[in-house]
A and B are shown apart, each in its own frame.
Chain A
Amino acid sequence: MRRSFAPWANPDAKPLIRFENVTKRFGDSTAVDHLSLDIFEGEFFCLLGPSGCGKTTLMRMLAGFEMPTEGAITLGNQNLAGVPPYRRPVNMMFQSYALFPHMSVEKNIAFGLKQDGMHKDQIADRVGEMLRLVQLEKLARRYPSQLSGGQRQRVALARALAKKPKVLLLDEPLGALDKKLREETQFELMDIQHELHMTFVVVTHDQEEAMTMADRIAVMDHGRIVQVATPGEIYEQPKTRFIAEFVGDVNIIEGHVQGQENGLWRVKTSSAEVPLTIDDPDEVLHSGQPVAIAVRPEKMVIQRDPPGPGAINVLTGEVWDIGYLGDWTVYRVKLATGEIVRVTRANASRFVESPIEWDEQVYVTFAPNAAVILAE
């Protein structure tokens, strides 16, 4: 629906939000460490990382609840230094939703509009519009304690959207919902964002959530951004081992660079008899350098019959575990070195003649371009 949306690839595009060398320290600990980041207008941007990586601090600095120790944050043409939260054109949906328990749903949504001194009739119109958007017209007079978790989440969203902020911040927006509801809500959020042409910045620790919703993801670790890219790039071309392991499942094979042949890297490893051949031309490596090879489980092929004599990237082992998930089957193969390799296979047909069994001797192969080399 928005295939051509990629302002970050345009060098002339002016970012809406700009973090410039921002550092935030709390006493001795550094939550955000010399971080620079551009977010563009209309983007659905995800800050992804494990807890304590600084993503929430980054968001709170944007909302104005924390001020950077060093560096500058600009929104549009405005430098946000010293601007208190109540004067920023930014609204936030809190992780706990933070609905006012002594106010009805409509009063909650109207709260921000009232602060702007908007006329009563206009407030009523806008509240009605918001209630329709989140489909809560019938619950306008209820109090938050009378709502389910999903309904509270919608009220929180409507309240944050009511003032038409330039940027909507969402702190773990789906964290408190159950799995089914979470999936539905993900798509709803995307639709709403698209409909309102608003910039969304989402903090999450759930990589699946980030992958589904975001235009771009910034993966954070220890107060720094490790990689900013589209979900596809993050998954298929992770920059570091941390990202490869944090986003999705991955098999890591360690080895040393042997050299380059015809543009393909040869990597010697104890896991395979013949050196592995990897097609990752962007990496700049030198012979003898220790590297990690990352291969996603679904990009490996498991077979019983030995591959032909000229086959490349062959690992041999025996089936250690089989997990049947319905849509996928997960094989855990134990190599001679003791390493466990995870291979998944889509269950394309309902019945398989003589399926691969436990303890069977198997061969696991993968194409040169299925793997990514990560410098250690």
Chain B
Amino acid sequence: MTIRRLSVFNVTSLVIGFAFLYLPILLLVIYSFNASRLVTVWGGFSTQWYGALFRNDALMEAAWVTLRVALLSATIATVLGTLAALALTRYGRFPGRTLFTGMVYAPMVMPEVITGLSLLLFFVAVDFDRGFWTITLAHTTLTMCFVTVVVQSRLMTFDRSLEEAAMDLGAPPLRTFFSVTLPLIAPSIVAGFLLAFTLSMDDLVIASFNAGPGATTLPIKIYSAVRLGLSPEVNAASAILIGIVTLGVISATLLSKRSVLRSRRNAH
């Protein structure tokens, strides 16, 4: 690849673009290290708000709920999403395949307000108490399709003759799946899990529809705290959240990229 020289125009648009995207976030992270109680006035560097955050029981409780919801919903979404991806790539053209594909992908483009509201209506209709479990189920519905997309893209490049070879050598279908298919698509499954985990961590809309008095997630807590006035503690909580989400998304991207690359290399 040739290295093209960056023109002044390119550099300017790059800087403006990135500034537009990341300056507010950067500002938030910087102010989370503010010594002053006034959010908008810089009073020197301090990590005191991180300490205060860990002593804030309400926030810590919400963070704990968020973590548990994210772990559980991402796990369920990974299992269901992988199965959906397998069904979509493996069973050829079964009747209603297009409809099924559309239905799997619909939550991705559905306005979150609608998803949240419809889930709320459903839980009310079946008389299911809102709380930890309703948020978990709602997040599973939201994130499953993302897992499906990631795993499906890997399965598309999967060499089926590897499975045939395993069966030819005496491995029944289930053992073939666990000894050949699963190890090879594992990176994309992990990537899907990380994506689902981060999506669940930072979701506000669907969670606020389905949260109950018993359980509140961190994004909901932050949102309601901000309505009562900006607080440096919330800045610190947000900064941590940003860190986790960034880490998750980057690892997911790297993992799925590597797994697709590897499958391509082995095809030659």
| B224 at interface, CB cutoff 8 A | no
Which residues on A sit within 8 Å (CB–CB) of B175? 115
Q: How far is the CA of A232 from the CA of B11 in the complex (A)?
A: 73
Q: Is the CB of A63 within 8 A of B168?
A: yes
Q: Is the CB of A86 within 8 A of B165?
A: no
| A306 at interface, CB cutoff 8 A | no
Once A84-B167, A85-B167, A111-B166 are accepted as A-B contacts, the answer to whether A98 and B172 lie under 8 Å apart by CB is: no
| A94 at interface, CB cutoff 8 A | yes
Once A100-B180, A101-B184, A115-B175 are accepted as A-B contacts, the answer to whether A163 and B159 lie under 8 Å apart by CB is: no
| A91 at interface, CB cutoff 8 A | yes
1/0 contact trace for A325-360 toward B, CB 8 Å?
000000000000000000000000000000000000
Q: How far is the CA of A112 from the CA of B180 in the complex (A)?
A: 13
Once A101-B266, A102-B184, A144-B266 are accepted as A-B contacts, the answer to whether A96 and B168 lie under 8 Å apart by CB is: no
| B156 at interface, CB cutoff 8 A | no
Which residues on B sit within 8 Å (CB–CB) of A144? 266
| A92 at interface, CB cutoff 8 A | yes
| A65 at interface, CB cutoff 8 A | yes
Q: Is the CB of A112 within 8 A of B169?
A: yes
Count CB-based A-B contacts (< 8 Å).
65
| A212 at interface, CB cutoff 8 A | no
CB-nearest residue of chain A to B265: A145
Q: Is the CB of A86 within 8 A of B183?
A: no
Q: How far is the CA of A96 from the CA of B267 in the complex (A)?
A: 8
Which residues on A sit within 8 Å (CB–CB) of B170? 86-87, 112, 115-116, 163
Interface residues of B in 152-208 (CB under 8 A from A): 159, 161-162, 164-172, 175, 179-180, 183-184
CB-nearest residue of chain B to A94: B161
Q: How far is the CA of A112 from the CA of B235 in the complex (A)?
A: 58
Q: Is the CB of B162 within 8 A of A100?
A: yes
- B164, B167, B170 pick with most chain A CB within 10 angstroms: B170
Which residues on B sit within 8 Å (CB–CB) of A55? none
CB contact between A98 and one of B164, B179, B183 (< 8 Å): that residue:
B164
Which residues on B sit within 8 Å (CB–CB) of A102? 183-184
Minimum CB–CB distance from B157 to chain A (whole Å) comes to 12
User: Which 10 residue pairs spanning A and B have beta carbons closest together?
Assistant: A112-B169, A115-B170, A98-B165, A98-B161, A101-B266, A85-B167, A86-B167, A94-B161, A86-B170, A92-B168
Chain B: residues with CB nearer than 8 A to chain A? 159, 161-162, 164-172, 175, 179-180, 183-184, 262, 265-267
Question: Given known contacts A96-B159, A96-B267, what 8 new A-B pairs fall within 8 Å (CB)?
Answer: A84-B167, A85-B168, A86-B168, A91-B168, A94-B161, A96-B161, A100-B166, A116-B170
